[in-house]
Amino acid sequence: MNSGPKSRALFNRAAKVMPRGVTSNFRYWGDDATLVVKKGEGAYLYDQDDNRFIDYRLGFGPVVLGHARKEITERVSQALSMGNTFAMTNEYEISVAEKICKLTGIDMVRFANSGTESTMGAIRVARAYTGREKILKFEGAYHGFHDYTLWNCYPPIPGAGYRRNPILIPQGSGIPRCLGDLVISIPFNDVEILERKVKENWQDLAAIIVEPLLGNQASIMPLPGFLDHIRKLCDEYGIVFIIDEVKTGFRIAKGGAQEYFKVKADLACYAKCLGNGFPVAAFGGTKKIMDEIGPLKIAHGGTYTGNVVAMAAADAALDLIAAGELDKVDAHGKLLMAGWKQVLDKTGVPYVIQGPAAMPGIVFTNEKVCTEYRHWAAGDHDTYENIIEALFRRGVMPDKDSREPWFISSAHTDKDADFALTAFEEAVKEVIG
């Protein structure tokens, strides 16, 4: 969908002072198509030309309680009068830490400002705690924009080599080659390869970091027992198990993936839904490991960590989540998934619908179940992206990138689901026939 005149004029202004007119590469959709937002309201997003979209991107996931949620803006407004940054602990911060621990079952937490910072923090703690330096990550998993994990996030296939021994590929230029020496990357959901790599490398392995479901690959789910197997190997070989809950946390269950999949991390990373879109993140875990953070031991800090605005937003968001708001998210997602199935079954085109209802994904593929990145990579992404384009024109906005699942908020209504499914049926007819 081409942008309207107001979006286009603002985009042209932006492109003069910001590369590609955006502040994140993922937001650039082409010179003629990059929209500029006017506002968000509940489940809706309005662009500068007053086109309304049912928003299933939700800013790449965080806005699980809907845009401009009253209870959150009110608590933030109240907090604003006390000032924001003090480089001192504030009461909101303590309250949020208590709520995170209660909801997720972790013992202690430290705050950060983004998911990227939270995974960086967890990795540093794991390295310090174990005295080892390597990390094992899975192909297709994304853990933020730092150089430590920007390897094999979505490598070209073919190009990334044999799946039993993938070639490490950095995500673009500027990432020091030497950091690749500290990364082992293997396919998700393959117990045999996992065991082999752990047995070969455990003396150097500080952490296994996992997206508990591949939320950056259309929500590929872990096979039953896979996360338990990682837990077992980590216990056996003294490796820190880091669960990156940046997408799943406070979305797929109150206690995130740890609750949903009944698995316990040593360290878990949170961001996105924690602040319903306000910039706040955290990492935390067992007291035994987290209590090692401190002066002359393990470094952690940041001028803005625990700032009042972010903490007030998280405080209000966690109250709403604790009160059961995610039930609505789940119910809406289930409606969409059932509706997609009805529409797609009529086409005869092979597809998979996967993921939890709070962040479901669709892949056009011959696989019966996608279990790893390479399954997603072999899918038909053009068809998916053309359907999304057709949805945009009908006022429904999931992300165009076929790696992104649809993100649901508690502000999405049954009426929105009807609208979105009618649009989906029309879009599928237009693209597939």
Ligand X SMILES: Cc1ncc(COP(=O)(O)O)c(C=O)c1O
Write out the residues near ligand X by the rule CB under 6 A.
Answer: 60, 114-116, 119, 142-145, 211, 215-216, 244, 246-247, 271
Please, which residue, 40 or 62, has the CB nearer to ligand X? 62
Q: What is the smallest separation between the CB atom of 261 and ligand X, expressed in angstroms?
A: 15
Please, which residue, 119 or 189, has the CB nearer to ligand X? 119
Place of tokens 């979209």: 53
For 265, the token pair is: 């991390």
Q: What is the smallest separation between the CB atom of 396 and ligand X, expressed in angstroms?
A: 21
Residue 198 neighbours by CB distance under 10 Å: 21
Closest C-alpha among 274, 135, 265 to residue 205:
135
Helices (H), ranges, 181-325? 191-201, 226-237, 256-260, 287-290, 308-322
Q: What is the smallest separation between the CB atom of 139 and ligand X, expressed in angstroms?
A: 14
Please, which residue, 230 or 421, has the CB nearer to ligand X? 230
Closest C-alpha among 242, 237, 217 to residue 227:
242
Distance, in Å, from the CA atom of 304 to the CA atom of 115, rounded to the nearest integer, reads 14
Residue 209 neighbours by CB distance under 10 Å: 26
- Distances 276 to 70, 288, 374, 420 between C-alpha atoms, Å: 12, 30, 32, 23
Q: What is the smallest separation between the CB atom of 411 and ligand X, expressed in angstroms?
A: 21
Q: What is the smallest separation between the CB atom of 213 and ligand X, expressed in angstroms?
A: 10
Buried b (16+ CB within 10 A) or exposed e, 169-185: bbbeeebeeebbebbbb
For 74, the token pair is: 């009110």
Please, which residue, 205 or 214, has the CB nearer to ligand X? 214
Q: What is the smallest separation between the CB atom of 152 and ligand X, expressed in angstroms?
A: 14
Please, which residue, 142 or 376, has the CB nearer to ligand X? 142
| Residue nearest to ligand X as judged by C-beta position | 115
Please, which residue, 6 or 20, has the CB nearer to ligand X? 20
Please, which residue, 46 or 145, has the CB nearer to ligand X? 145
Q: What is the smallest separation between the CB atom of 116 and ligand X, expressed in angstroms?
A: 3
